[in-house]
Amino acid sequence: MIKVALTSGTASQYTDGKTEVNVEAKNVRQMVAALERDFPGLGTEIQQSMSVAIDGVILPDPYLEAVDEDSEIFILPKIGGG
Amino acid sequence: MAKQHITTTINGEETEYLCEPQETLLDVLRDQVGLTGTKEGCSSGDCGACSVMLDGRLVCSCLVLGVEAEGKTVETIEGMADGDELHPLQQKFLEEAALQCGFCTPGVLIAAKALLDINNDPTETEVRYWLAGNLCRCTGYDKIIRAVMDTAADMRGA
Amino acid sequence: MNEQPKQFKWVGTRTIRPDGVDKVTGRAMYGADLTLPGMLEGKVVRSPHAHARIISIDTSKAEALKGVKAVVTAADMPEAESKLVAAGEAMINFRDLAENVIARQKVLYAGHTVAAVAATTNDIAERAAALIKVEYEVLPHVIDVLDAMKDDAPVLHDHIFTGGVKPKPEKASNVANRVEFALGDVDAGFAQADIVIERNFTTEPVHQGYIEPHAVVADMGQDGKVDVWCSSQGHFMVRSFCAGLLKIEMSKIKVTAAEIGGGFGGKTTVYLEPLAIMLSHKAGRPVRMVMSREEVFRASGPTSGAAMTIKIGATKDGRITAGDATLYFQAGAFPGSPVGPAAMTAFAPYDLENVRVVGFDVVSNRQKVVAYRAPGAPISEYGVESVVDELAEKLGIDPIEFRAKNGAREGTKAAYGVTFGTIGMQETLEAAKATEHYKIPLGPNQGRGVATGFWFNIGGESCAGIRINEDGTVSLTEGSPDIGGSRASMAIMAAEVLGIDVTKVKPSVVDTDAIGYHFVTGGSRVTFATGMAVVDAAKAAVDELRARAAKIWGVDVDGVVWEDGHAKPASTNVGDFEPMSLAALAAVANKTGGPISGHADINAKGAGPGFGTHICDVEVDPETGFVTVLRYTAVQDVGRAIHPGYVEGQLQGGAAQGIGWALNEAYMYDKDGKLENAGFLDYRVPVASDLPMIDAILVEIPNPTHPFGVRGVGEVPIIPPLAAVNNAVAAATGVRFTALPLSPPAILAGMSAKD
């Protein structure tokens, strides 16, 4: 099981306010699919408009990155810049 | 109204063009004469990107009509270097990274040269007030001011 | 100034930029500088109303005018679907983008495009634009963000239902979205505090203020192929947006990036480009469109104005126990303000256990905001840094020490949820404290202010090609429009890897047909991400050079190393071969397998977070309220400065923009919702005589993920000035101001209220 942290805003919409959820996944693609299954809409939201930070590195287009139970995974809005 | 036939001297070369009476010198330079180094930033005399010398006087070419150049001399950024030799200001701006996007640079250089032509030892305050009509949004002016003062120092030493 | 690291030959040196001579002699071609045979000039018809329904558009008189070759309205454009795309700072909806380019049913701000016309001259195009008759039904409008949130406010879009709340609202509103970030328990945190300060702040929208107005030349052939030349922060973005908006295949659109006269985020979207393509399509001739300065102010940019509440608690010994912020951001006419990044960055410089930030993205009848340098961060951090400063003052702690005590360091879990790796927050504070500036005594009516700033910096898609020419020179291609000297950095990094003289490397920013996709020049990403691609491409070229030497020597490639621009045997075991220079290998390339090159196409990850600390000294004239900036120092962790001159320039330029934001700049509207100061005379950006020298101090804590340690640099410097100026003014006047800009009348009013 991997631990996925969400912002409180995202949590209030998709996970009944739980800011940390556990899913079974070996990479981000599987994680997103598992989150969509357990919390309908969340996976889609992540794909459309969120970034995933793994161990402090923000990834705007994560897909194949490996994750395990020791990974710090955080879902946050996409960031661009001027 | 019929176009006016104008004869003038641009960067030392006699030049003729036809222009509408309401056309600005800036538009004439850019569109008729093909000297696009002079930039348009505001067309209201507020930004200085279109600075040129007209009969030895620093002007915003957006505030001068093309017909007003009749019989006069115009100096633009394209005439600043002497053949393949850059003017000391141009060289110093490169050495000291005194430009970023480069869009205000032609106007700044023309204005700075006009200052150094009349004052070869300006104070920082004099440079800042002289260039207050040339907006730069990239550099915060620091390196521009230093480059102008360093050029003046070099030219005095030379 | 930093000690030049000894291990590098070119990195950290102040080379002459490769595009420099073009830019000091007028040769460089910017957006409006291209003329094509048969080219027409295009003009835009804009709404005079802040909010109105379009009843009809009659273009017949304009079309009948001699010299007019094409007129375009929304009816000529394909209907856009509702789809989210990345645009500079945030995700935007494609349908909104389409409607911002040209209004369909309603105009949503004064300046909104309703039609465009192309004619043989500018003069005819202007007269034709004036002949286009648009009938409007004027609707009530709303400008202010808090007014727009009221129940009785005119609603701009009947399809906007506040996102981010549950259950989904049943009534359409101007509140497009709510975001929330929370860590720990803020109520418990405030309960532990000995002192709690809560303040309401406002900031006004400010424009990026690039000196070059938006400009484009588009040429669409009868075969459907399109050439676009434009001033943009991303020609790949222009291709993708135009392809999507006009339903043209991407391979048919070639976009060339003109030299760009400033952008600061404001050129990360399209305005004129799709219109110019459509006009060219209709006319069968090239069309140039250039915005006037007034149009730039009325119809492009700016960034959000905002209202916010910031509340921070601390213990007597100076430890922050909780931070709470509520942010209301103007998005302009369509959703997509930078409230998300503003919320994430608000408390990011600090190591806090209890944080809550709630943000609202609110539409109103203003031009759609677009990215501006660290979008959102200057606004929220202005509020936080002003309160932090007040706390330090009330607790009697030096403001730099107070920040250091609470500041983030490696391993700190940032308030936005991510654990920081190697960062330089503490080092910038130490460097600021060590400056001479910080010790200079102040006179009467003078004050000193300090503030910090944080920005994420980003990576993203970049590509590079290194071609070794027959004579041993190098052609370097990449696709990030060079907005502030990035070609110089690219040449330096390539020369460093290849081991050749930097003047042998010629970098070019090539068109969309010539290289792979690049994300925009934005997010402080170019020297990091495109630089990473350049390094990878140069390394690939080095591998090929080694392989050629191995072939010539008849040894295994592992037996060949690349040192100082030469292939050398890795050890005496490999054999006794004379080193071969890059030029020597290039000269025989045709005999050893053909031309030598290296390429990289990457999506760069691991951009290093950036921190800066600024010190500002001001003098406030008690008679007039006028603020003079006496001294200014900008300290920043830049990772590693590839070209220190242009890195310092980023710090100085960002500081100047931030000072303008703090003191002078603001969008002002009349009662009809029309912008009153759409020109540089009335919208006053800092001029040379407004500013002192700006000391730039580069702290170098290398980013471990970049081969040379680069961090993004360009955005952080605009963040601290707002609060640094505000705190300096507070120190000078004894009044804590909570609204920007700090104009003389506002300061006089604040000072007289105190007396």
C582 and C710 in a single domain? The answer is: no
C549 close to C588: Cβ distance less than 8 angstroms:
no
The count of domains in chain B is 2
B99 and B63 in a single domain? The answer is: no
* Whole-angstrom distance, CA of residue C742 vs CA of residue C721: 12
Q: Which of C569, C604, C639 is the last residue of a domain?
A: C604
Residue C617, strand partner residues: C448, C631
* Whole-angstrom distance, CA of residue C323 vs CA of residue C320: 8
C754 close to C736: Cβ distance less than 8 angstroms:
no
Q: What is the CATH number of the domain that holds B127?
A: 1.10.150.120
Q: Which of B79, B107, B125 is the last residue of a domain?
A: B79
C451 and C477 in a single domain? The answer is: no
Kind plus residue range of the DSSP H or E element containing C41: strand C40-46
- C-beta atoms of A80 and C458 within 8 A: yes
B60 and B20 in a single domain? The answer is: yes
C85 and C222 in a single domain? The answer is: yes
Minimal-distance CA residue of chain C relative to B96 = C645
Q: Which of C16, C24, C291, C646 to mutate to test the interface with B (most CBs of B within 10 A)?
A: C24
C98 close to C245: Cβ distance less than 8 angstroms:
yes
Q: Which of C266, C268, C417 sits opposite A7 (nearest CB)?
A: C417
Q: Which of B37, B132, B140 sits opposite C26 (nearest CB)?
A: B37
- C-beta atoms of A53 and C179 within 8 A: no
Q: Which of C312, C311, C313, C317 is nearest to C402 (CA)?
A: C317
Q: Is residue C110 part of a domain?
A: yes
Ranges of chain C whose pLDDT falls below 70: 1-6, 86-91
Q: Is residue A82 part of a domain?
A: no
Q: What is the 3-state secondary structure of C169-196?
A: CCCCCCEEEEEEEEECCHHHHHHHCCEE
Q: Which of B51, B105, B141, B145 to mutate to test the interface with C (most CBs of C within 10 A)?
A: B141
Q: Is residue C241 part of a domain?
A: yes
Q: Which of C165, C264, C522 sits opposite A80 (nearest CB)?
A: C522
Q: Which of C418, C454, C518, C520 to mutate to test the interface with A (most CBs of A within 10 A)?
A: C418
C189 close to C353: Cβ distance less than 8 angstroms:
yes
Q: Is residue C158 part of a domain?
A: no
* Whole-angstrom distance, CA of residue C616 vs CA of residue C634: 9
Q: Which of B40, B60, B79 is the last residue of a domain?
A: B79
Q: Which pLDDT tens digit goes with each residue over C120-173?
A: 999 999 999 999 999 999 999 999 999 999 999 999 999 999 998 988 899 999
- C-beta atoms of A72 and C419 within 8 A: yes
Q: Does B158 have pLDDT greater than 80?
A: no
The count of domains in chain A is 1
Interface pTM (ipTM) of the complex? 0.98
Q: What is the CATH number of the domain that holds A41?
A: 3.10.20.30
C317 and C225 in a single domain? The answer is: no
Q: Is residue A7 part of a domain?
A: yes
List all chains that touch chain C, counting a touch as 3 or more CB pairs closer than 8 Å.
Answer: A, B
Residue labelled with tokens 């309220």: C625
Structural domain for A25, as ranges:
2-77
Q: What is the 3-state secondary structure of C384-406?
A: HHHHHHHHHHHHCCCHHHHHHHH
pLDDT of residue C1: 38
Q: What sign does the dihedral C640-C643-C645-C648 (CA atoms) show?
A: negative
- C-beta atoms of C458 and A9 within 8 A: no
Tokens coding C676 = 């009153």
- C-beta atoms of A59 and C164 within 8 A: no
CB neighbourhood size of C520 (10 A): 31
C527 and C539 in a single domain? The answer is: yes
pLDDT of residue C6: 59
Q: Which of C655, C635, C634 is nearest to C700 (CA)?
A: C635
CB under 8 A, 24+ apart: contacts of C554-563: C562/C499, C563/C499
State the nearest Cα–Cα gap between C519 and chain A, in angstroms. Answer: 10
Tokens coding C287 = 């069309």
C596 and C694 in a single domain? The answer is: no
pLDDT of residue B2: 87
A49 by Cβ neighbours in 10 Å (0-12 / 13-18 / 19+) ranks as middle
Q: What is the largest CA-CA distance in chain A?
A: 38
C635 and C518 in a single domain? The answer is: no
C724 and C692 in a single domain? The answer is: yes
B107 and B132 in a single domain? The answer is: yes
Q: Which amino acid makes up residue C308? A: M
DSSP assignment, residue C526?
A: I
Chains B and C touch (3+ CB pairs under 8 A): yes
Q: Which of B47, B76, B134 sits opposite C26 (nearest CB)?
A: B76
B53 close to B87: Cβ distance less than 8 angstroms:
no
Distances (CA, A) of C407 to C215, C353, C378, C615: 44, 12, 18, 17
Per-residue DSSP letters for C343-355? HHHTTTTB--SSE
Chains A and B touch (3+ CB pairs under 8 A): no
C271 and C295 in a single domain? The answer is: yes
Q: Which of C687, C693, C718 to mutate to test the interface with B (most CBs of B within 10 A)?
A: C687
- C-beta atoms of C344 and A79 within 8 A: yes
Q: What is the CATH number of the domain that holds C529?
A: 3.30.365.10
State the nearest Cα–Cα gap between B117 and chain C, in angstroms. Answer: 18
B108 and B125 in a single domain? The answer is: yes
State the nearest Cα–Cα gap between C35 and chain B, in angstroms. Answer: 8
Q: Is residue A48 part of a domain?
A: yes
Kind plus residue range of the DSSP H or E element containing C91: strand C90-93
* Whole-angstrom distance, CA of residue C337 vs CA of residue C344: 13
B56 and B122 in a single domain? The answer is: no
Structural domain for C579, as ranges:
20-27+459-604
B96 and B75 in a single domain? The answer is: no
Q: Which pLDDT tens digit goes with each residue over B58-85?
A: 999 999 999 999 999 999 999 999 999 9
Q: Is residue A6 part of a domain?
A: yes
Tokens coding A28 = 């981000």
pLDDT of residue C4: 47
Chains A and C touch (3+ CB pairs under 8 A): yes
Q: Which of B27, B44, B79 is the last residue of a domain?
A: B79
Q: Is residue C153 part of a domain?
A: no
Q: What sign does the dihedral C560-C561-C562-C563 (CA atoms) show?
A: negative
Residue C116 C-alpha from the chain's centroid = 28
Minimal-distance CA residue of chain B relative to C652 = B140
* Whole-angstrom distance, CA of residue A53 vs CA of residue A81: 17
Kind plus residue range of the DSSP H or E element containing B149: helix B142-157
- C-beta atoms of C208 and A82 within 8 A: yes
Minimal-distance CA residue of chain B relative to C18 = B94
Q: Which of C164, C181, C460 sits opposite A60 (nearest CB)?
A: C460
| Length of chain B as a residue count | 158
B66 and B96 in a single domain? The answer is: no
State the nearest Cα–Cα gap between C295 and chain B, in angstroms. Answer: 10
Which conformational region is residue B45 in: left (phi greater than 0), alpha (psi within -120 to 50 degrees), or beta?
left
Q: Is residue A62 part of a domain?
A: yes
The count of domains in chain C is 3
Minimal-distance CA residue of chain C relative to B32 = C35
C175-183 and C355-363: which strand pairing?
A: antiparallel
Tokens coding C217 = 């030349």
Kind plus residue range of the DSSP H or E element containing C657: helix C644-663
C646 and C732 in a single domain? The answer is: yes
C237 and C274 in a single domain? The answer is: yes
Q: Is residue C40 part of a domain?
A: yes
B73 and B127 in a single domain? The answer is: no
Q: Does B1 have pLDDT greater than 70?
A: no
C67 and C95 in a single domain? The answer is: yes
Kind plus residue range of the DSSP H or E element containing A49: helix A42-49
Structural domain for B48, as ranges:
4-79
Kind plus residue range of the DSSP H or E element containing C490: helix C486-498
